[in-house]
Amino acid sequence: MENTNSRKNQGPQPGGFSFIYLMLMMLTLVIWSMPGIRDSIGEYANYIFYPLFGLNGKYPIITLILTGLLITVINMYARHYFIDWYGMAKVQYKSRQLSKLMREAIKKNDKAMIEKVRSFQQKLMMENVKIMNDQMKPTMIVFIFGIVIMVWIYYFIFSLPSIYRSIYLPWTYPSGMDLALGPSIFPVWVIVYMFFTGTVGYFISYIFKLYEFSLRLKNIERLERK
């Protein structure tokens, strides 16, 4: 009974979502490495995404940008919905303060203070685990959609005529570079896609954070006026 109660009092555990995330990663690798499954998913997804982002196959770079923008906005919106950015900032602030108190307690060899700080750190760790689990929730939601998007782009790029698959960079002029070049698991288009999604994702995440904190400040100002 004591063990059961202690487990209940421990709060959220970090392993659950990590296991699901690992399983989704393995599923992605299976789909990616099996052409039959990959092409079937890509073919069905093509009926939805080609009219929206295909641009008649003439502008694959713009297609990559648009799909990257779509998945980034969906991911950031899901993260914004599930994650308490203000709570995360509070936990980070408390963690820094407790670390400072711990250093001072160790320096003074204050054993009572050390134990007290450790107790607070354990409680804070539970809060941090909850935030980590909240971060994983949108990842699970968006991950499946992201797999479908990536498989469709793979299908889309390799179904294009070679003349439309070429991108022209200063070091590839005048012949250009084929987006389908490179290993089957990591062709050139994946690098281009990751570059755009990473860059755009940073700015979109920053905007969502500013929006969240501005709402918090407005709520605080409203409460102070009352």
* Main-chain phi, psi angles of 84, to 5 degrees: -90, 95
Over residues 155-168, the mean pLDDT reads 84
What share of the chain has pLDDT > 70, as a percent? Answer: 76
In a domain, 113, yes or no: no
Give the residues across from 177 on adjacent strands: 167
Show the tokens assigned to 146. 């992201």
pLDDT digits (tens, 9 = 90+) for 131-143: 777 667 666 777 7
Residue 156 lies in a domain: yes
Full residue range of the structural domain in which residue 170 is found: 2-81+136-225
In a domain, 121, yes or no: no
Residue 182 region by backbone torsions, left for phi larger than 0, else alpha for psi between -120 and 50, else beta: left
188's tokens: 């050139």
Position 16 pLDDT exceeds 70: no
Question: Backbone dihedral region of 120: left (phi > 0), alpha (psi from -120 to 50 degrees) or beta?
Answer: alpha
Count of structural domains, the chain: 1
**Within-domain flag for 7:** yes
| Residue 188: inside a domain | yes
| pLDDT, tens digit, 9 for 90 and up, residues 60-86 | 888 988 888 888 788 777 776 777 666
Contact 22, 141 (CB under 8 A): no
Answer whether residue 127 is part of any domain.
no
pTM above 0.85, yes or no: no
Tokens describing residue 54: 């295909």
Residue 100 within a domain: no
- Taking Cα atoms as reference points, which of 36, 53, 29, 59 lies closest to residue 179? 59
* Residues 6 or more apart in contact with residue 184 via CB below 8 angstroms: none
**105 vs 121: CA distance, rounded Å:** 14
What string of DSSP letters covers 169-203?
-TTTTTT-EETT-S-SSS-HHHHHHHHHHHHHHHH
Please indicate, yes or no, if residue 106 is contained in any of the structural domains: no
Cα separation, 21 vs 183, whole angstroms:
25
Nearest-angstrom CA–CA distance, 180 and 68: 17
